[in-house]
Structure 1
């Protein structure tokens, strides 16, 4: 046996570091991260670096058993901290020692460690839990979707609450290991790269890894019986698509759309710069609602998106989010335009590329389609730059948001405009941004004062005039020339319509 003895001065220093200087300096972390739309989302006092989720799921009973290991760093002297979570917890350990815990609010797990946590220190949290996620409703809403052969975890602005404890806000991204044990014959699909698949005694464990920062709501899980296809992009990124074996009449249209993922991603690289992650793909489960979601590296597509035939436009939308929304995320949910306006505009650019209507023609169509009479058409009363929680996913955030980008393009010219589209996700990769940040960046690149332009098109609750310099054609109101791509684009209007919870206000 070897014993290591510390010199007296070293021992004294170590002891001082282990003892809090003043108990009064330690306080609970905030139960919310400070979001203006959802005050109880996320938590204060710490920053997560990694989640390790070890799960077991039985589709026939919807029983989910889990052990979550969370690695984090304190941002203040912490006497207590919160996690966002809704299932029943049996044990919590902090730095290996049992911690006290209780619940409060709609999804707050309050953890009191055996010893306070000094600012700037790293710590680990282990949470053991079990429950039936489908029985958990928060304000009448759920992000856990049962399917005939399993379940899907997908939702925005929150989804983690239903299946793992987290700091559930885009401001706190982390890397993920997701390991899921399911009955043989069933598969578990998640984000990133599949590390291994191991079968034993009637169960199979799927181990997934996401090695780039990822917001909790962008972390997904799908359990069911899938047909899986694989591919590789020209730059060597592995592609994995998964389709339920029971898609019925929607099967062909879904595959004809999602199998073009590689092509679409390579085209988007020309516009937005290098693909920001090390995995790519998508999945289409059965029996789920019709929305789609940009879950990182592997978007979720509801079958309704393909009910009227193949629609590559929805694939364009969700893959555009990998740059605008996933790699570069919102600071606050009021900044949703920096996600949705750009994903919608990518659909317009795809239409332009495919010769089915230019972005300008689509802008003219949108402007003309909506009258200025707010009693008849409230479209123009929604401010894409700050739509309010009740209008966070309103069509105006998408269409008026894309229209604002076309006006910007006309104002500064294609050279600067496309330099902005490519530069923005590069300089902000892995970070969080606001609408104000984008305006400042656009002004820096273009050398123009763009405050009035954005105020008019993003923040004015009325229909803007269409001056010639904005490049919007008022004559389209009379001509009613519908671009050929419009029906496919409009078919994605419900892309994030997943039983949203307007006015949850938490």
Structure 2
């Protein structure tokens, strides 16, 4: 699973990141082992229930048993039989305890039949920050009342929610093959795991699709997807690769998902394990509860995957997720974590696959930038005290955090660097081969790496997998000019003592020398030779070590570092330091020179922060930015250049902004409109009105800025649909402030259509994020709107209050 990080800034509290170390979380005992699961299902769309029949084949794990315990949440159990004979059972709304007709011995299989009704709306378990709901089976617009949204059904099993729609042993250490017969109205297509063996048309206008999956996987990976989809066909070798999308996005499906076959080929090559399943399908689900999910052969993505060419030209925002879920088909699906405590075996590998893919496809700078962002995500949260392998936690959902994902990926990068590429990938191959179709724990991964490398790796796994935190280093230097040596002093300031390899680069005039040292104590010193006085000493020169570094550098050090450092991380560090010192001519020149950097993110960062005050003395830099606005190979850099030029409010730049409105890139269009607005308001407003609705929706934030400044009542209806996302889901404070201003204007205004759009969005978001208490935030927002309207002297006051009060009632239902 690739989670969506939601920054619900107004109300998500620290409690979602807290750990409770009071209870040990063990692997679930294996009393019985699942062997095969056969299901027949159909649906009551009005009641949002599912009629099910299940044939569960199992066998005792070791000890003989005459009782089978299955997880089954919030179901109505109609009957349970074996060989047509009823079985006695007890059911408490969470588990069925079935009395078997005899005591079955180890490896003696039996099959029980269960007729039941699944009631997902009555499920009581809650989701997490990563997976926002846990009712297993989801009906989207089931009655078709919402004309803006299609009717769909999809499932989400991780962590233990598959048992909300079929009885099973809902634990990651179980593996079972499966069959599913899905009966739906003829207008819908279905998707499930494995192969679609046949379809049967029924006399009542329905159709039954038979999906068969003969290989073994864990219950949380079972999947059904149902809706009116176009199926776009693709392939990897002779394996079908299909994309299930709504008709509107069918023309763009291959632009969105089309790198999937190449990903499967790449991951097959680096693991040495050919893609192990018989198909690969991806489907997009409305109102999906996370980023995406790696259901075996049937991946589901949230609707953020939908993009048009004007967005895709700026970069496919779903590409990392597509790679992440694909790699799960080796790490997570083929070999599965035996317990949620060992979730790193699933999610850390999938997280690191994003680096591997980007390194292969776009180069090391791009991959390093992605890893840097991931590490910052880990460091910015309350994660320092958490272990990667965590046997003590409050809830299994807590494991889906920036430690299991981001830090785990960074740890794999360090392990790869330490053992070398050849050993790293050979160890992955052995791990996947030894444990295919099975479950594993981290100790087994360690033993595989030790067998391949011949190295003892207890120290590495103990501190990185079974420990917490990361090194925090104070660095100092002692020079001996007579001996021409420099002693690098490394002092660890954190309470834990780490051991780690460390790369140190010494830069002399025209020469760079790499030194590999090993830090094995709190205070370490390394004496290194040089020929001429070093221009710079770069610690963690390869950027591999997960750490914080404190050292004293002066302006000239950062100027040299920006020009000569090899890694994105060090270039970025230097650039950010110089940005604050641009009153110095040398610092400004260094920032301006960064506009020529070979890596687009450095160019973009320089553009966003270059100081063009006293613009007449900086004409050369401005001329360069004008060229970049039209000619940079990356449209996101073009957009940044246009935004920077817009700050000059120079009428001579108008042709650049007008030209930008013809760009295929939506980001360029948005920045061009705002820049044009500040030099020719009537033209910018007129151009904005000509934009197609789909473009306006994508560039809502710059348009909102323009329409608010223009006091454009006509456009408040458009603005209203974006207010809540802007206020609560954006991480940018300027965006939050902008949409707070929009909320206030609509709340105190007379535009009934805008008020209706705003409260509809509040209701939708309130229900979507109810578990975080956002329904209460929504009620408070609407109460304030009522008070504001009551005190206003507006012609539509009574109508507006009625609209708001009706929305409050809907949110409380």
SS of the equivalent of 1:461 reads: coil
Cα distance in 2 for residues equivalent to 1:157 and 1:118: 30
The equivalences for 1:283-362 within 5 A come to 283-306=283-306, 309=312, 310=316, 311-356=318-363, 357=365, 359-360=367-368, 362=370
In structure 1, the residue matched to 2:67 is 80
In structure 1, the residue matched to 2:277 is 277
Structure 1, residues 427-449: CA drift from partner, whole Å, max 9, x if none?
22111110111111111111111
Matched-pair contact (CA < 8 Å) for 1:166–1:216: yes
Q: Give the gaps of 5 or more residues in structure 1.
A: 1-34, 492-497
Q: TM-score, normalised by structure 2?
A: 0.51
Cα distance in 1 for residues equivalent to 2:81 and 2:52: 14
In structure 1, the residue matched to 2:135 is 142
In structure 2, the residue matched to 1:56 is 42
State yes or no: 1:262 paired with 2:268: no
**CA RMSD after TM alignment:** 3.2
The equivalences for 1:434-453 within 5 A come to 434-453=441-460
Matched-pair contact (CA < 8 Å) for 2:288–2:303: yes
In structure 2, the residue matched to 1:155 is 157
1:83 CA displacement: 0.6
The equivalences for 1:13-412 within 5 A come to 37=25, 44-75=30-61, 76-86=63-73, 87-104=75-92, 107-139=94-126, 141-148=134-141, 149-201=151-203, 202-234=205-237, 236-245=238-247, 255-272=254-271, 273-306=273-306, 309=312, 310=316, 311-356=318-363, 357=365, 359-360=367-368, 362-363=370-371, 366-367=374-375, 377-386=381-390, 388=393, 389=396, 391-412=398-419
Q: Structure 1 pair 330/444, CA: closer, same or farther in 2 (3 Å)?
A: same
1:81 CA displacement: 1.5
Cα distance in 2 for residues equivalent to 1:379 and 1:464: 14
In structure 2, the residue matched to 1:478 is 573
Cα distance in 2 for residues equivalent to 1:125 and 1:347: 42
Cα distance in 1 for residues equivalent to 2:434 and 2:575: 40
Q: TM-score, normalised by structure 1?
A: 0.80
In structure 1, the residue matched to 2:647 is none
Cα distance in 2 for residues equivalent to 1:343 and 1:54: 32
Matched-pair contact (CA < 8 Å) for 1:80–1:111: yes
1:168 CA displacement: 1.2
1:365 CA displacement: 5.6
Q: Structure 1 pair 74/391, CA: closer, same or farther in 2 (3 Å)?
A: closer
Say which is worse superposed, 213-222 or 124-133, in terms of deviation: 124-133
SS of the equivalent of 1:410 reads: helix
1:299 CA displacement: 0.9
Matched-pair contact (CA < 8 Å) for 1:176–1:210: yes
SS of the equivalent of 2:173 reads: coil
Cα distance in 2 for residues equivalent to 1:442 and 1:414: 12
Structure (1 or 2) with the greater helix fraction: 2
1:501 CA displacement: 9.0
Matched-pair contact (CA < 8 Å) for 2:288–2:301: no
Matched-pair contact (CA < 8 Å) for 2:118–2:166: no
Cα distance in 1 for residues equivalent to 2:426 and 2:214: 28
Structure 1, residues 209-264: CA drift from partner, whole Å, max 9, x if none?
11110111000111211111233321x2222331234xx6x766665332332221
Q: How many residues end up aligned between the 2 structures?
A: 450
Say which is worse superposed, 461-470 or 315-324, in terms of deviation: 461-470
Matched-pair contact (CA < 8 Å) for 1:244–1:285: no
Q: Structure 1 pair 67/368, CA: closer, same or farther in 2 (3 Å)?
A: closer
Structure 1, residues 12-67: CA drift from partner, whole Å, max 9, x if none?
xxxxxxxxxxxxxxxxxxxxxxx96487xx67432121111011123343231111
SS of the equivalent of 2:415 reads: helix
Structure 1, residues 299-332: CA drift from partner, whole Å, max 9, x if none?
1111134566532211100010000000000111
Matched-pair contact (CA < 8 Å) for 2:201–2:207: yes
Q: Structure 1 pair 464/385, CA: closer, same or farther in 2 (3 Å)?
A: farther
1:283 CA displacement: 1.0
Which structure is larger by alpha-carbon Rg, 1 or 2?
Answer: 2
Cα distance in 2 for residues equivalent to 1:125 and 1:284: 34
Matched-pair contact (CA < 8 Å) for 2:152–2:285: no
SS of the equivalent of 1:116 reads: strand
